[in-house]
């Protein structure tokens, strides 16, 4: 391993008569890209994605190019078929990839759009190994977990290195060390570090320090055992990040240092924080960024002037956290009301908007299963604004429509997202246009007035069959509307989509004649994408998911509009900006 350059050269020309197997992507330059690999021990759900994205942000601020990748253990090809109630929301990338919600964390923290190369599952890995096997690519060899499956993993990482031209690729391994389904990922990165040589990979073990209330002290045994398990797999962590409710004591960190063979200054406390946007500062104060740079020997690549500028911009934003002067309550109607993760991006978008408006946003979850026109006022009595979020299926549908009606008739600020847009159209069709049988064919297949439906011509144009319309799409914005003002009068905006149904163009004139404004549509097709009502303090709906592209320093205008209008409703007398003025202020931020 003394001269790993030679090693890579020697083994990359492998053939069927030796034990090496190292296909490299064209254009791969060894040493150009370094790797930070984040693994979890003790338990899942510790926030590997949060840790990894915060560290990546610190390096990005220093002028380094970073590219994250999440490696998932499950066999699904993507997250599209996963139940958000069990796995958290399905995040959709601009290229249409349906992936884990951690990708959202990376996009927000790095303010960077990701693509399908940033997300891999065991299903994808096995799929491509099996395709290669059928294609005869393995030259008569028996196809094995090692080296072929692990080889495929390394290939994916190196392909990302080439396509992103990154200085540092951040590899997040899903699940917990010791899971059978993730074991081959760990083996693959062990091999990667061996092949790339010293100072090429930095292994981070994220672990958990227990703090049982009955004992009143921090206990590191479970964490020690987790690290031991990693050592057994041939991986010596370079950094240990300790999750804990409170700052990890020096004593606990010392123990982790001794038992993990990791110098004390590389054992960090990553304790609970009120906002994830405060974590980069926590890691930076602990010196984590420079530890990593030194380990990877890339201190000479950083641009300190760049960092000064970026960091002060970031601090201007984080200084506003916890300085809220008002509180507003937004009611979110949703099926998965008990799991916050299933609405992670919406909660983030509300947080972004709230921070810029000095408003703490409290969320009230409203299960609409039993909501009716008769009792809706009781359900919504405490809320200052309403979101009907995306969803599938029929449960609670009529209750959602009752909420829309209440919002429209009582001038309660309303934002409808995807399904919430469709609910707003149906409510308007029924109660304003008098089309009493109006419905969505998703809910009522043979309904007499399918105002929301799957359109055959749309299927043809999009070539998607019965599949979803997925990913980023441009929206043509209508002049002199609220959407036009929100999106910078540029005439178009790009948002992300994940839907099957839409407004049937046959009903558009009727809806518009009665005052519904379709302020955004697909450029070349009659697909309605944004709606609004003129005579209302704030009433907007969109077939898209603006929450997916809200970023801390560039909050989604529709969310800013909603929170600002809710604030105005709750504090009518105080002198505060109109929603539009606030959006404009934030835009120029
Ligand atoms: N179920 C609706 C559709 O498929 C809405 C989808 C969503 O809210 N993401 O069109």
Please say if the pLDDT value at position 136 is more than 60: yes
Please say if the pLDDT value at position 196 is more than 90: yes
Please say if the pLDDT value at position 319 is more than 90: yes
When pLDDT is cut at 50, 70 and 90, the band that residue 488 belongs to is confident
pLDDT of residue 337: 54
- Residue 469 beta carbon below 6 angstroms from any ligand 1 atom: no
Query: Best mutation site among 395, 400, 424, 442 for ligand 1, i.e. most ligand atoms within 8 A of its Cβ?
Result: 442
Q: What is the mean pLDDT of residues 532-544?
A: 95
Closest Cα to atom 5, ligand 1: which residue? 419
- Residue 501 beta carbon below 6 angstroms from any ligand 1 atom: yes
pLDDT of residue 8: 67
pLDDT of residue 465: 45
When pLDDT is cut at 50, 70 and 90, the band that residue 572 belongs to is confident
- Residue 92 beta carbon below 6 angstroms from any ligand 1 atom: no
Nearest residue to 164 via CA among 200, 209, 210, 114: 114
Closest Cα to atom 1, ligand 1: which residue? 392
pLDDT of residue 457: 62
- Residue 396 beta carbon below 6 angstroms from any ligand 1 atom: no
When pLDDT is cut at 50, 70 and 90, the band that residue 580 belongs to is confident
pLDDT of residue 452: 97
pLDDT of residue 81: 86
CA of 390 to the centre of ligand 1 (A): 6
Lowest average pLDDT, out of 24-33, 131-140, 231-240, 539-548, goes to 131-140
Nearest residue to 403 via CA among 381, 372, 363: 372
Please say if the pLDDT value at position 393 is more than 60: yes
Angstrom distances, CA of residue 148 to CA of 151, 180, 190, 452 = 5, 17, 14, 48
For the chain, domains (ranges, CATH) are 63-183 (3.40.50.300), 326-587 (3.40.50.880)
pLDDT of residue 340: 77
- The residues near 474 (Cβ < 8 Å, ≥ 6 apart) are 492, 493, 494, 522, 523
Please say if the pLDDT value at position 333 is more than 70: yes
pLDDT of residue 446: 94
CA of 76 to the centre of ligand 1 (A): 21
Are 501 and 452 in contact by the 8 Å Cβ rule? The answer is yes
Please say if the pLDDT value at position 589 is more than 50: no
Please say if the pLDDT value at position 55 is more than 80: yes
Tokens of 39: 């693994």
Q: What is the mean pLDDT of residues 504-509?
A: 96
For residue 502, give the ligand 1 atom closest to its CA. 10
CA of 154 to the centre of ligand 1 (A): 36
For residue 498, give the ligand 1 atom closest to its CA. 9
CA of 544 to the centre of ligand 1 (A): 9
pLDDT of residue 339: 66
User: Which residues in 12-32 are b (16+ Cβ under 10 Å) and which e?
Assistant: eebeeeeeebbbbeeebebee
Please say if the pLDDT value at position 461 is more than 60: no
Which residues belong to the active site? 418, 545, 547
pLDDT of residue 42: 84
């Amino acid at each position: 391993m003394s001269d790993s350059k030679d090693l890579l050269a020697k083994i990359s020309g492998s053939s069927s008569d030796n034990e090496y197997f190292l296909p490299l992507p064209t254009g791969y330059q060894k040493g150009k890209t370094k790797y930070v690999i984040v693994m979890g021990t003790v338990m899942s759900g510790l926030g590997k994605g949060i840790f990894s994205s915060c560290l990546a942000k610190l390096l990005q601020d220093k002028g380094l190019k970073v590219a994250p990748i999440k490696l998932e253990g499950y066999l699904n090809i993507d997250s599209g078929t996963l139940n958000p109630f069990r796995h958290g929301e399905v995040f959709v990338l601009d290229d249409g990839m349906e992936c884990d919600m951690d990708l959202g964390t990376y996009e927000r923290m790095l303010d960077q759009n990701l693509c399908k190369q940033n997300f891999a599952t065991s299903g994808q890995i096995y799929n491509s190994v099996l395709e290669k096997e059928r294609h005869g690519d393995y030259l008569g060899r028996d196809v094995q977990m090692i080296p072929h499956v692990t080889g495929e993993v390394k290939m994916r990482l190196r392909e990302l290195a080439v396509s992103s031209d990154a200085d540092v690729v951040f590899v997040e391994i899903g699940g917990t060390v010791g899971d059978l389904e993730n074991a081959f990922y760990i083996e693959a990165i062990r091999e990667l570090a061996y092949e790339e040589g010293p100072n090429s990979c930095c292994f981070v073990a994220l672990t958990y320090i227990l703090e049982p209330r009955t004992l009143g002290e921090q206990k590191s045994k479970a964490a020690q055992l987790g690290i031991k398990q990693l050592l057994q797999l041939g991986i010596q962590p370079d950094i240990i990040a300790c999750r804990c409710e409170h700052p990890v004591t020096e004593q606990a960190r010392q123990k982790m240092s001794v038992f993990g063979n990791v110098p004390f200054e590389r054992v960090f406390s990553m304790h609970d924080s009120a906002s994830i946007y405060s974590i980069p500062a926590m890691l930076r104060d602990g010196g984590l960024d420079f530890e990593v740079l030194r380990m990877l020997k890339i201190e000479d690549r950083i641009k300190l002037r760049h960092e000064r500028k970026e960091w002060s911009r970031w601090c201007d934003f984080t200084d506003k956290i916890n300085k809220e002067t008002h509180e507003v309550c937004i009611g979110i109607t949703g099926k998965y009301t008990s799991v916050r993760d299933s609405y992670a991006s919406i909660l983030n978008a509300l947080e972004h908007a709230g921070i810029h408006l000095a408003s703490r946003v409290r969320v009230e979850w409203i299960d609409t299963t039993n909501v009716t026109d008769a009792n809706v006022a009781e359900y919504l009595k405490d809320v200052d604004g309403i979101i009907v979020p995306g969803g599938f299926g029929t449960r609670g549908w009529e209750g959602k429509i009752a909420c829309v009606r209440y919002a429209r008739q009582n001038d309660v600020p309303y934002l409808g997202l995807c399904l919430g847009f469709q609910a707003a159209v149906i409510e308007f069709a029924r109660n304003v246009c008098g089309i009493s049988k109006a419905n969505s064919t998703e809910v009522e297949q043979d309904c007499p007035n399918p105002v929301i439906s799957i359109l055959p011509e749309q299927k043809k144009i999009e070539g998607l069959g019965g599949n979803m319309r997925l990913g980023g799409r441009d929206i043509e914005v209508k002049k002199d509307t609220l959407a036009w003002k929100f999106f910078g009068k540029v005439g178009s905006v790009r948002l992300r989509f994940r839907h099957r149904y839409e407004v049937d163009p046959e009903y558009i004139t009727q809806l518009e004649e009665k005052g519904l404004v379709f302020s955004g549509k697909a450029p070349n097709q009659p697909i309605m994408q944004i709606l609004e009502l003129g005579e209302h303090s704030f009433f907007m709906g969109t077939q898209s998911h603006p929450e997916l592209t809200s970023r801390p320093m560039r909050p989604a205008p529709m969310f800013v509009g909603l929170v600002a209008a809710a604030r105005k409703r709750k504090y009518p007398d105080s002198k505060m900006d109109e929603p539009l003025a606030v959006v404009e202020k934030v835009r120029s931020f």
